[in-house]
Amino acid sequence: MAKLTASETAAYCTWAAVQTLGGWGYARAFPVEQWMRDAKLEEIEEGTSGIMRLIISRSM
């Protein structure tokens, strides 16, 4: 549950930061772009959110 919550929170927060900066959020000049890529990678590495939800529901 912690992995799912952490990866989704990181993805949402970085997405919001990119949206706040607009087009500059995608520029490599700002660290937000790197954070967004890292957060997306963590979502994929930990397993997709759907799979994690399935695992959690089976264990309950």
| Sign of the dihedral defined by the CA atoms of residues 42, 46, 51, 55, in that order | negative
Task: Please confirm, yes or no, whether 46 is among the known catalytic residues.
Answer: yes
| CA atoms of 54 and 24, how far apart (whole Å) | 36
If DSSP codes are grouped into helix, strand and coil, which group holds residue 30?
coil
Residue numbers annotated as active site: 46
